[in-house]
Amino acid sequence: MTEYIKFIFEGKTFEFPVVIGTEGEKALDIGSLRNKTGIITLDPGYANTGSCTSDITFMDGEKGILRYRGIPIEQLAEYSSFRETAYLLIHGELPTENKLKRFSVMLNDHSPVHEDMQYFFRNFPRASHPMGILSSMVTALRSFYPELPDMEDEVDTTVTRLLSKIRTLAAMSYKISKGHKVVYPRPDLPYCANFLNMMFDSPVRPYEIHEDVVKALNIFWILHADHEQNCSTSAVRLVGSGKVSLYAAISAGIAALWGPLHGGANQAVIEMLEKLAAQGTDVKQLVARAKDKNDPFRLMGFGHRVYKTYDPRAKIMKATCDKLLTQFNINDPLLDLAKALEEVASTDDYFISHNLYPNVDFYSGIVLRTIGIPTNMFTVMFAIGRLPGWIAQWKESMDESQWKLGRPRQIYTGPVERDFVPIEKRS
């Protein structure tokens, strides 16, 4: 039975239905608010606004729960591969053995990129940020591989092509930025191993694929694969709602992810830790700066809009980090600093009262450093991981029952009507 919330405005009572999700989450459906009452809601940053209903990812920020299609992130990180998790997110169910094989073959078949795309890379200035390059290259894919989005099979081909090629494009951009020869994808390697090989293999030093590194990369990408209506996913849905191509919508997501408050935080964390190590600053001083309201500095890798407890992804990332460093017998001073920083922050009243805990980005940079990924590629790694989520969300939003052009409203606070003043009369 539908429940209603009563709303009294200018002496009149209006009723709006309550929508209840499968996990008991409740929302007030204000779809008819403006038509009935003439008013709109105001919610900068959309902290209280549900922009859609979705079957893909469930998060409980108070309890620290994250599930893809109902399956806990802890189980996926332990038992699944990134490839399989990508399939789950995009198709809604875990694949059978045959379906996974077919998906893997398709990923391999689509992995090379058009040779002409290399010319684009070569003409970007050397100092270009890889996120800017990736975003441009994904848009450029539309010119090389036009989509045919009307039939289910062709949508599958388009999204698989994108999943496959993004990994090739990222590795290619790294090789070209170093002035090295591009390494082509190998049909015998699965998704993560293939990426590592394209990144690090060279004629002078053949890359040795290590199962522990492959596992760590699988976990890293699984943890990033979706996170419901975050900034970049909302960008994908909003841009996609104008019925642009999938490539253009994903490119918008990549651009949104770039920022240091979102995906760019993994790069910002390592830069913060490196600076801390180089300057020999006491971690307590850094925490004091983060609390100082006159200082714009924030502790990168801490805090989250939804999680008001420890980010479940950060727990897995921290354990992966410890395991990887132990396996390779590496002593990374940045890990010691990160742990010291977490220790101080986790016992600090400000951090406790503001519910500020480490998020996924706090330990992920150390994992990536250990794998050999350069710092300026960290956010690209996040983007490759988030791609299945963006695709799943884009597909869901394109469904005719969900699709609606995204177009928020505003409350205007500028000058009221006034006359144009000719330039000679302006003071």
Residues with catalytic roles: 304, 361
Q: Which is nearer to ligand CMC, 20 or 319 (CB)?
A: 319
Please tell me whether residue 308 binds ligand CMC under the rule CB under 6 A. no
Question: How many alpha carbons lie under 13 Å from residue 342 in its C-beta half-sphere?
Answer: 18
C-beta atoms surrounding 159 within 10 Å: 25
Please, which of residues 271-290 interact with ligand CMC by CB under 6 A?
290
Please, which of residues 135-154 interact with ligand CMC by CB under 6 A?
none
Please tell me whether residue 361 binds ligand CMC under the rule CB under 6 A. yes
Q: Beta 65-68 vs 12-20: how paired, if at all?
A: unpaired
Please tell me whether residue 230 binds ligand CMC under the rule CB under 6 A. yes
In the bound state, the residue with its beta carbon closest to ligand CMC is 303
Among 89, 356, 366, 383, binds ligand CMC (CB under 6 A): 356
In 3D space, the residue among 56, 91, 390, 407 whose CA is nearest the CA of residue 250 turns out to be 390
What distances in angstroms separate CA 250 from CA 48, 358, 384, 402, one per listed residue? 25, 27, 11, 19
Looking at 55-63, 128-136, 147-155, 353-361, which segment touches ligand CMC (CB under 6 A)?
353-361
Please tell me whether residue 315 binds ligand CMC under the rule CB under 6 A. no
What distances in angstroms separate CA 47 from CA 42, 99, 116, 296, one per listed residue? 10, 38, 43, 22
Among 299, 371, 377, 384, binds ligand CMC (CB under 6 A): 299
Interface mask (CB under 6 A) for ligand CMC, residues 208-227, using x and -?
Answer: -------------------x
Among 36, 186, 298, 339, binds ligand CMC (CB under 6 A): 298
Q: Which is nearer to ligand CMC, 201 or 361 (CB)?
A: 361
The answer to whether residues 130 and 359 touch, using CB atoms and an 8 Å cutoff, is no
C-beta atoms surrounding 21 within 10 Å: 13
**Which residues is 72 bridged to in the sheet?**
67
Please tell me whether residue 304 binds ligand CMC under the rule CB under 6 A. yes
Stated as kind and residue range, the H or E segment containing 236 is helix 231-240
Query: Quick one: how far is CA 99 from the chain centroid?
Result: 26
- Provide the binding-site residues for ligand CMC, judged by CB under 6 A: 227, 230, 261-263, 265, 290, 298-305, 354, 356, 359-361
